[in-house]
């Protein structure tokens, strides 16, 4: 089996986002692994229109050039980490749009979540898991979160993710679980 590839998806695109910081922190830890390879996928590079298709893209292929580029990109990966914020108790709208814009690239692949927010982005992750199920993904139990005053200190620019030593083992554990599922499902998909 070739080295499984993991896409780390930055789920917010606003100018003042901290999502990029979160992804930079995550990939630094992830890159220490030798059994998986990682690539950051920034939704800013895939500015799809608000969904205006004839139907679900699983049934009616999109003709939108950015939608097609997005779909093609996802097929390169064997699993995903969604780096997600929580917007009004759910996922950022731009992420939902991106999820709706693809199908084959998601199916039968594992997904885990690195989330941040006052409650660690937990409510967003719960909803994201349900969306992932609908896309025939395997949403994982093990996740990592930055929450509460620690999150606020990052949001206010007073601290960085790396300033919280407890976070790294949580991220490593999350990736360990992702590795297991990624290899198992890759093998099964290829069989
Ligand atoms: C539209 C909007 C809604 C938000 N709603 C929540 C929320 O429900 N829960 C929460 O913990 N933080 C909420 N926040 C604060 C975000 O956690 C914080 O702004 C975070 O930095 C957003 O991620 P981003 O910087 O990557 O966009 C909200 C922020 C925005 C812009």
The C-alpha atoms of residue 62 and residue 31 are separated, in whole angstroms, by: 34
Atom of ligand 1 lying closest to residue 20 CA: 26
Establish whether residue 18 lines the binding site of ligand 1, counting it when its CB lies within 6 angstroms of any ligand atom: yes
- Position 86 scores a pLDDT of 98
- Position 1 scores a pLDDT of 85
Find the radius of gyration of the CA atoms of the chain: 16
- Position 185 scores a pLDDT of 98
Percent of the chain scoring above 70 in pLDDT: 100
pTM for this predicted structure? 0.98
Establish whether residue 87 lines the binding site of ligand 1, counting it when its CB lies within 6 angstroms of any ligand atom: yes
Q: What b/e string do you get for 19-56 counting C-beta neighbours within 10 Å, with b at 16 or more?
A: bebbbbbbbebbeebeebebebbbbeebebeebebeee
CA 95 to centroid of ligand 1, rounded, Å = 13
Could you give the dihedral angle defined by the CA atoms of residues 98, 100, 106 and 110, in that order, rounded to the nearest 10 degrees?
A: 80
The tokens of 160 are what?
């960085």
Which of 94, 85, 96, 77 lies closest to 8 in space, CA to CA? 77
Query: How does pLDDT run across 178-191, given as a tens digit for each residue?
Result: 999 999 999 999 99
Q: What b/e string do you get for 119-138 counting C-beta neighbours within 10 Å, with b at 16 or more?
A: bbbbbbbbbbbebbeebebb
- Position 56 scores a pLDDT of 96
Low-confidence ranges of the chain (pLDDT < 50): none
CATH of 5-190, picked from 3.30.300.30, 3.30.830.10, 3.40.30.10, 3.40.50.360, is 3.40.50.360
Measured CA distances, 152 to 116, 156, 165, 188 (Å): 10, 6, 16, 42
Atom of ligand 1 lying closest to residue 18 CA: 25
Which of 130, 129, 78, 75 lies closest to 102 in space, CA to CA? 75
Domain map (residue ranges) of the chain:
5-190
């Amino acid at each position: 089996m070739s080295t499984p590839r993991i896409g780390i998806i930055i789920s917010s695109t606003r100018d003042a986002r901290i999502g990029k910081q979160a992804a930079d922190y995550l990939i630094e830890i992830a890159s220490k692994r030798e059994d998986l390879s990682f690539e950051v996928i920034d939704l800013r590079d895939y500015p799809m229109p608000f969904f205006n298709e004839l139907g679900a893209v699983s049934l009616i292929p999109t003709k939108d050039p950015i939608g097609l580029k997005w779909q093609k990109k996802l097929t390169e990966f064997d699993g995903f980490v969604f780096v997600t914020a929580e917007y009004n108790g759910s996922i950022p709208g731009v992420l939902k749009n991106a999820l709706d814009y693809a199908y084959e690239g998601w199916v039968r692949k594992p997904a885990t979540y690195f989330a941040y927010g006052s409650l660690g982005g937990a409510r967003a992750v719960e909803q994201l898991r349900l969306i992932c199920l609908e896309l025939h993904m395997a949403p994982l139990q093990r996740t990592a979160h930055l929450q509460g005053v620690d999150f606020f200190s990052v949001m206010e620019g007073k601290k960085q993710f790396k300033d919280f030593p407890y976070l790294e083992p949580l991220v490593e554990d999350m990736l360990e679980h992702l590795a297991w599922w990624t290899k198992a499902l890759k093998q099964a998909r290829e069989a």
